[in-house]
């Protein structure tokens, strides 16, 4: 859509696996006027689907699909929640999926050409991720909330996939959000 609200084009990518359905979860622009789109591939009936995989697609400015990647191993039960990009057009995809520590939050970093660079996972159990955003110090911030109960947590991860902080068992009665300042201090609401 143009700045004046005029639709320039509509593009869709139809899933080629008839046993699955795909839903878009987030869109992020790139420096060339294109976009990254994260999503979740689901299987089963429309009334009661189960997550099969997270996915990431990159589109050019004219809507041409440049590449599409399923995240994780085939039908690993994963999902994708958000995608962010950095100044070099690397994409960071936040989701949930199996890890060596169980089903936990994961971040996958992809190059602009679609190659997987690294995978980070939550080994401490901060909770189900709610958001992915940039901290003022250039690190990724993942506020999370427990699937049950009233607790949550926060993870901060650098652009090399290294955990910088993991806070668990934080009160999260109505939700939880977090931000990081330029000095790396974490603020939780």
User: 24: which DSSP letter?
Assistant: E
Give the confidence band of 107 by pLDDT, cuts at 50, 70, 90: very high
Question: What is the model's pTM?
Answer: 0.92
CA 166 to chain centre: 18
Between CA 71 and CA 188 the distance in angstroms is: 29
Cβ of 38: how many Cβ atoms within 10 Å? 27
Determine contact, residues 96/78, Cβ cutoff 8 Å.
Answer: yes
CA-closest candidate to residue 173, choices 154, 145, 141: 145
pLDDT in tens, 156-177: 999 999 999 999 999 988 789 9
Give the confidence band of 12 by pLDDT, cuts at 50, 70, 90: confident
Give the confidence band of 2 by pLDDT, cuts at 50, 70, 90: low
154 burial via Cβ count (<10 Å: 0-12, 13-18, 19+): buried
> In this predicted structure, what is the pLDDT of residue 6?
77
Average pLDDT across the chain, whole number: 92
Between CA 156 and CA 150 the distance in angstroms is: 21
pLDDT in tens, 77-105: 999 999 999 999 999 999 999 888 888 99
Give the confidence band of 73 by pLDDT, cuts at 50, 70, 90: confident
Percentage of the residues of the chain whose pLDDT score is greater than 70:
98
SS3 116: strand
- Of residues 19 and 93, more confidence is placed in 93
């Amino acid at each position: 859509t143009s700045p004046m609200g005029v639709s320039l084009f509509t593009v869709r990518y139809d899933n080629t696996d008839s046993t699955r359905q795909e839903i878009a979860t987030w869109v992020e622009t790139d420096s060339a006027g294109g976009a990254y789109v994260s999503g979740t591939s689901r299987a089963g009936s429309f009334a009661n689907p189960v997550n099969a995989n997270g996915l990431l697609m990159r589109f050019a400015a004219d809507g041409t699909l440049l590449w599409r990647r399923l995240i994780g191993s085939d039908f690993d039960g994963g999902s994708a929640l958000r995608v962010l990009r950095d100044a070099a057009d690397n994409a960071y995809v936040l989701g949930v999926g199996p890890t060596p520590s169980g089903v936990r939050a994961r971040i996958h970093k992809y190059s602009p050409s679609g190659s997987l660079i690294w995978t980070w996972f939550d080994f401490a159990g901060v909770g189900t991720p709610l958001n992915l955003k940039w901290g003022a110090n250039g690190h990724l911030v993942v506020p999370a909330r427990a699937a049950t109960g009233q607790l949550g947590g926060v993870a901060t991860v650098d652009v090399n996939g290294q955990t910088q902080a993991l806070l668990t068992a934080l009160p999260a009665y109505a939700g939880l959000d977090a931000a990081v300042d330029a000095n790396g201090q974490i603020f939780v609401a």
